[in-house]
Every structure is written in structure tokens, then in C-alpha cells.
């Protein structure tokens, strides 16, 4: 009789993640229903204050901004990534073209953000060029606004969208496009009606792998955004470290987590329904879109 060693193997990891992942999340849930202690921390009293204060107009404004900045950055990223993935898939030298996409991401996350400060900052490259050709004498403020935040977010997440899109487009049978053309479709019609529906799985993966981390962005708006481009991640951090209103930070965190959860469930449903499981098969999808590029998914 074979003994079941499964529990012995899995118990250490299960304990670790219970202690350092599940328990901290449980504390966040509990704190969101507690009263705020004026000196930081919480009072052990059941209260819905934290959820009531979510209705604060500044907070709602930040939530809307976070949503539309995330949507805008995601849409721009996908619109650039689609033709890019197509170009790689149809290229005779896929390995080289993919390699070039990945190399810039061997740089440290924070340095990639910093590079944009060096380009767009008051003493940065663009201002330097503008002064040299005499277009301006003063510095133009390119940073610390929403445009800069969206630009840098697109920069950070392009490869996450390109890789899964490439891997589905690569599996697509391009004879179908020729057939569509032979049957009288224009090139654009063929792309829109034949290619796009057939790569839906890759599209969904690309959208979620950009949207989810961007929605929880913290470092990018902190470094290249101004006060008027702060996102929910920044509000959570401020509530925890500066204002020390832990119940409010917890209730906002709950909101972000629930939205992320909905997105993840949506992904599971859509990718199950879709006939295209190529992402998982190819190993380019979830595995290397997160593990392949050394950047984890920070924002």
C-alpha cells in the first residue's frame, strides 16, 4: 500500500502562504470593517465607516481617473502590440525580432521608469534638444501629468501584450486570409473579420496582462505623475504610510482586489469558452509574460 506523502510535501508551502499571503489579506478584510484609531492602527469595533468614506468625492475622482488611465493605456498598448505581434509572426526571423523586444526589459524596473525622467524631465534630453535648436529658452514641463503617466505605462507593458499576441497570431493559418481575399474581401475586412476573431484568446490574455497591473499601478504615477495624476495605488500607499488611516486603505484595497478578481474570473471564463488554448500550450503566455520578462508586473 502506497502511503500518501502529499500532505507532507505540500504542508510547508501551504503554511508559508497561509501565514504571509492569506493572513495579511484577511487582516486587510478585517481592518476594512474596523474603526480608525487616531494614532494609526485600528480600534477593534465593527464599523462601516471605511466603506462610507469611499463615497468621498476626491476618492471617486481618483477611482474614475485610475479606470480611464488604465483603459487608455491598455487600448493604446493593444493597438501598438497587435501590428507588432503580426509583424513578428510573419517575419522570417522571429527569434531575432522577439529578442529585440525583450532586451530592453533586462533593465531594472525602476531604471526603465527613470530613463523617461532623463528624457522628458526639465533637464532632460527633449528639453536639451529644444533649447539647442532655439525653440525654447525655458524648460517645457513634459513630466508630472497624465500624459506622461500613460506614456510610461504603455512603455512598461508593451511586451506583456506583444508576447501573447505574437504566440496566437503565429498559430493562425494565414491561408484563411488569402481565401477571404479571393472571395472578395478587402485586406482590412479580411484582417478584421477573419484574423481578429481567430486570435481572441491571445487578445484577452494581452488585455488582462496589461490592464490588471496598470490598474494597481503605484510607482509609475509616483515618479512621473503629479498630484493630479495619482492613481488608487498611490492613495492606498498614502493612507497607510502618511495619513495612517488603515481602515480606509483597507477598504480601497478591497475595491481594487475585487475588481482584479472580476477581471481574472472573466479571463478564466473567456479563455475556457474560446477554442484557442494556444497561449498555455506555447508557454509564451502566462508563464513568460510574467516570468519571462524580469519585471514581475510592477507599475
Question: Least distance (Å) from another protein to the CB of residue 108?
Answer: 6
Question: Least distance (Å) from another protein to the CB of residue 239?
Answer: 9
Q: How many CB atoms lie within 10 A of CB 135?
A: 10
Smaller CB distance to another protein: residue 64 or 106? 106
| Contacts of another protein in 134-193 (CB under 8 A) | 155, 158, 162, 170, 173-174
* Selected range binding another protein among 1-9, 50-58, 62-70, 195-203, rule: CB under 8 A: 1-9
Interface residue with another protein, options 60, 125, 141, 273 (CB under 8 A): 125
Interface residue with another protein, options 45, 56, 107, 189 (CB under 8 A): 107
Does 279 participate in binding another protein (rule CB under 8 A)?
Answer: no
- In contact, 98 and 90? CB cutoff 8 Å: no
d(CA 247, CA 37): 9
Tell me the three cell numbers of residue 132: 539647442
Enumerate the β-bridge partners of residue 36: 42
Which whole-number Å values give the CA distances from 102 to 110, 123, 263, 279, in the listed order? Answer: 16, 29, 26, 18
Does 16 participate in binding another protein (rule CB under 8 A)?
Answer: yes
Does 48 participate in binding another protein (rule CB under 8 A)?
Answer: no
DSSP per residue, 226-268:
-GGG--HHHHHHHHHHTS--HHHHHHHHHHHHHHHHHHHHHHH
Interface residue with another protein, options 106, 136, 197, 228 (CB under 8 A): 106
Does 76 participate in binding another protein (rule CB under 8 A)?
Answer: no
* Selected range binding another protein among 6-14, 54-62, 65-73, 193-201, rule: CB under 8 A: 6-14
d(CA 251, CA 35): 12
Interface residue with another protein, options 216, 245, 248, 271 (CB under 8 A): 216
Query: Residue 34: in which H helix or E strand, if any?
Result: strand 34-36
Does 98 participate in binding another protein (rule CB under 8 A)?
Answer: yes
Tell me the three cell numbers of residue 186: 478587402
Question: Least distance (Å) from another protein to the CB of residue 277?
Answer: 14
From residue 239 to residue 278, the character string flagging contacts with another protein as x (rule: CB under 8 A) and all else as - is: -xx----x--xx--x--xx--x---x--------------
d(CA 188, CA 161): 22
Does 45 participate in binding another protein (rule CB under 8 A)?
Answer: no
Question: Least distance (Å) from another protein to the CB of residue 60?
Answer: 19
* Selected range binding another protein among 12-20, 44-52, 63-71, 193-201, rule: CB under 8 A: 12-20
- In contact, 113 and 156? CB cutoff 8 Å: yes
Count of alpha carbons within 13 angstroms of residue 135, beta-carbon side: 8
Which whole-number Å values give the CA distances from 166 to 95, 196, 274, in the listed order? Answer: 12, 13, 17
- Chain centre distance of CA 150: 12
* Selected range binding another protein among 48-56, 60-68, 195-203, 279-287, rule: CB under 8 A: 279-287
Interface residue with another protein, options 62, 73, 76, 86 (CB under 8 A): 86
Amino acid at each position: 500500500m502506497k502511503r500518501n506523502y502529499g500532505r507532507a510535501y505540500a504542508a510547508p508551502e501551504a503554511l508559508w502562504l497561509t501565514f504571509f499571503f492569506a493572513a495579511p489579506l484577511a487582516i486587510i478584510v478585517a481592518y476594512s470593517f474596523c474603526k480608525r484609531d487616531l494614532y494609526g492602527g485600528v480600534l477593534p469595533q465593527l464599523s462601516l465607516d471605511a466603506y462610507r468614506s469611499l463615497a468621498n468625492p476626491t476618492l471617486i475622482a481618483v477611482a474614475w481617473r485610475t479606470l480611464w488611465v488604465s483603459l487608455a493605456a491598455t487600448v493604446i498598448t493593444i493597438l501598438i502590440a497587435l501590428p507588432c505581434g503580426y509583424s513578428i509572426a510573419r517575419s522570417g526571423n522571429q527569434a531575432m525580432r522577439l529578442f529585440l523586444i525583450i532586451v530592453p526589459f533586462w533593465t531594472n524596473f525602476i531604471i526603465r521608469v527613470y530613463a523617461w525622467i532623463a528624457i522628458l524631465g526639465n533637464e532632460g534630453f527633449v528639453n536639451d534638444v529644444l533649447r539647442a535648436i532655439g525653440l525654447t529658452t525655458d524648460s517645457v514641463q513634459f513630466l508630472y501629468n497624465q500624459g506622461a503617466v500613460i506614456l510610461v505605462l504603455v512603455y512598461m507593458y508593451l511586451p506583456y501584450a506583444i508576447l501573447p499576441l505574437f504566440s496566437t497570431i503565429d498559430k493562425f493559418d494565414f491561408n484563411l486570409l488569402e481565401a477571404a481575399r479571393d472571395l472578395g474581401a478587402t485586406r482590412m475586412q479580411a484582417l478584421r473579420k477573419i484574423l481578429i476573431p481567430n486570435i481572441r484568446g491571445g487578445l484577452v490574455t494581452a488585455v488582462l496582462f496589461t490592464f490588471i497591473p496598470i490598474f494597481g499601478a503605484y510607482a509609475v504615477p509616483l515618479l512621473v505623475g503629479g498630484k493630479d495624476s495619482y492613481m488608487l495605488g498611490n492613495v492606498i500607499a498614502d493612507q497607510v504610510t502618511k495619513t495612517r488611516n488603515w481602515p480606509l486603505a483597507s477598504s480601497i484595497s478591497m475595491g481594487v482586489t475585487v475588481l482584479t478578481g472580476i477581471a481574472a474570473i472573466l479571463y478564466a471564463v473567456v479563455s475556457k469558452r474560446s477554442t484557442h488554448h494556444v497561449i498555455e500550450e506555447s508557454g509564451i503566455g502566462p508563464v513568460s509574460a510574467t516570468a519571462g520578462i524580469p519585471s514581475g508586473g510592477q507599475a
